[in-house]
Structure 1
């Protein structure tokens, strides 16, 4: 019998919303989506922080978490991620602490340097400063959450005898993760502080994790693959044709956004895939297809990476809302049970009954015939 896995499913919302839609209605839809994801059994949802470009509409994932937590009771809610260079680290730590208590431990916190150069430009932060400030700021955040009294002088913030007035609700800290992409900084930070990792399935997940483990060992931290989150783009339907057709809703607006953010990435994607939705998503490490395709993809990803604790689906709004909800339902109804081998015992029980069907049926018929012949006499 296959060894059962315990991989949990999550969703990462950048989020992407077309610039032709009403913002308030987009937000209401995101809250409805959280309700749906909890109903389906998703373990967690992450919400991004962005300040320009028009398509990613949340400047404060913490505010989204606070509202979504009041609508739900089980699903964990993450800031994915807090752009550390854009905030005073003390204020980040204090907001984390409040949300940890306010959600009774259901809030999670991811950290990154900030994805959009346009955001940093408006704040007069140079791109080469962003990762340095992530490293510096995260160190202070962790120390504060661990109860230290911190003095710190920097070219962008200062602290004097700074401490948090409460201990975290979660022991010993709230759940925290670092995003990794094109540089080793995220992996090293995860290892240094014993944090989780959010990384893209299209990248070298195994290398990112190996580097984190090495950094963890150097700092006395034993990392656990249960805290490795692999982010992928899955868009599922009953057939590949249906899934590809559903992508017409939001793919082109997203490609226009990609071109505005990263012309080279856009050009590379178009050169590899043209206008074909399946090829476009495949070129970026994702999948448009059926639950069977998704299981096959995940099995290959498992072998490639060496294993992970979460598979985190990117919520791109490339499909309309009903198709999006159906995609998530197919993921939880058919993909995760097969990938985790959760129904192996059910299958064993069915096979056992099926193999002995003649024996069991014959015994049952004989018992019925005996009862009839005896006329109910005892």
Structure 2
């Protein structure tokens, strides 16, 4: 009997370099989600950013509403909504509306906000963002369950606040908290019994913190009378695969350097070597990225399973390393050759093939016996005039004519 299927999806920040049309870049993100829906991906998470030029989507809710009209099955999440940027009642109302519009396909990812430049423009102190997230989450969870909330904090107030519409999803939309290295996300997830979204799971710090952060989530859940489920834990990592490792490496030369430039100059993450060595080699060697074949992607996911102790979904970080056609091909290869490994899609097929192969002598014997019976019945009625000699020979009723005759 097959077990639970690992889910697959994408975390679409997105990352678009400055040398292309931004309107077309957003449209391409939409096309990618449509392609994923066709391939059978389970989820797509859409980011929220307001500065620095690369991460263009300001409202994941607007993107999700559009994508929901163009897709059939894939679930769509905010990846993530930056809670300090929104009054909780307004944000809860928008998410609840999406829950109804999508008939339950929306997911609510939350975090404190990733870019200090976003916070600066709104006059938000970066040092306060995580506290603001915690305060917002304290009221968002009950609001999205349809409860009435009164609260006053340093930055918002709610007076008998409630959503007008009962949630479409019960008890509420699925909520997941962003986590990287610090315990902030894990602590919040445990407090409210929410999912965990490990965005930097393959970076050195994020990878090393996986087991610790899950333990923090579990311990805090226990202290707060909640539970957290590994099935609702999602790990994010960049992947580009092709038919061969050489082809994958060639593909990513298209846009990798522009992606690395953003992280060097804006996000300030040490993802690429500064000594002039090959960044592809460095990303592969560090375990940060998969640039290779489906087998390499399988090995990376197994490595994450071992380090984490188990999780429910693997999300590819969308990155534009390759041109769009090769990017779509990479997603297709994941669906064709990586999904089956972790979703037990071919277990019954393999068992069926083995069973048929093992019992082939018996089945072939029965088939030959059935044919022989029919031939014998025909001979009894009509004789052998219309029966090919080799068939008679096989039945022991005659000899095959000599080739020289």
Conserved 8 A contact 2:61-2:78? yes
Partner of 2:347: 344
Pair 353,87 (structure 1): closer, same or farther in 2 beyond 3 Å = same
3-state DSSP class of the match of 1:375? helix
Question: CA separation in 2, counterparts of 1:164 and 1:227?
Answer: 25
Q: Is 1:304 the counterpart of 2:307 in the alignment?
A: yes
Match of 2:223 in 1: 218
Task: Check the 8 A contact 1:273/1:283 in 2, yes or no.
Answer: no
Provide Cα deviations, 1:12-38, integer angstroms capped at 9, x if missing partner: 101111211111111211111111111
Q: Secondary structure at the match of 2:375?
A: helix
Give the Cα separation in 2 of the matches to 1:54 and 1:61.
16
Partner of 2:272, secondary structure, is helix
> So what's the TM-score if we normalise by structure 2?
0.88
In structure 1, how many angstroms separate the alpha carbons of the residues matched to 2:360 and 2:281?
44
Deviation by residue 1:38-74 (Cα, 9 ceiling, x = unmatched):
1111111000011111111001101100111111121
1:272–1:152 CA distance, 2 compared to 1 (3 A): farther
Moved more, 333-342 or 13-22: 333-342
- 3-state SS in 2 of match to 1:337: helix
1:156 aligns with 155
Q: Which residue of 1 aligns with 2:201?
A: 201
Confirm whether residue 235 of structure 1 aligns to residue 234 of structure 2.
Answer: no
Q: Determine if the alignment matches structure 1 residue 253 to structure 2 residue 262.
A: no
- Range with greater deviation from structure 2 (219-228 or 74-83): 219-228
Find the aligned partners of 1:76 and 1:215 in 2 and give their Cα distance. Answer: 28
The CA distance in 2 between the partners of 1:376 and 1:18, in whole Å, is 79
Asked if 2 retains the 8 angstrom alpha-carbon contact of 1:10 and 1:44, the reply is yes
1:176 is displaced (CA, Å) by 0.8
Partner of residue 315 from structure 1, selected from 306, 310, 318: 318
CA contact (8 A) 1:272 1:280 kept: no
Aligned residues: 375
Contact 1:243 1:288 in 2 (8 A): yes
Q: Is the 8 A contact 2:83 2:133 kept in 1?
A: yes
- Aligned twin of 1:274: 277
For residues 377 and 47 of structure 1, the distance between their equivalents in structure 2, rounded to whole angstroms, comes to: 75
1:18 maps to which residue?
A: 17
Report the aligned-residue RMSD: 2.0
Structure 1 residues 228 and 62, CA gap change in structure 2 (3 angstroms): same
TM-score, length basis structure 1:
0.94
> Which one scores higher on RCO, CA 8 angstroms, separation ≥ 6?
1
Task: Report deviation, 1:163.
Answer: 2.1
The aligned counterpart of 2:63 is 64
**Which contiguous aligned blocks of 4+ residues in structure 1 show a shift greater than 6 angstroms?**
none
Kept in 2: contact 1:274–1:280 (CA 8 A): no
Q: How does 1:88-167 map to 2 (within 5 A)?
A: 88-167=87-166
Q: Secondary structure at the match of 2:253?
A: helix
Larger Rg: 2
Shift of 1:137: 1.1
The answer for unaligned runs of 5 or more in structure 1 is none
* Alignment CA distance shift 1:376-1:29 (3 Å): farther
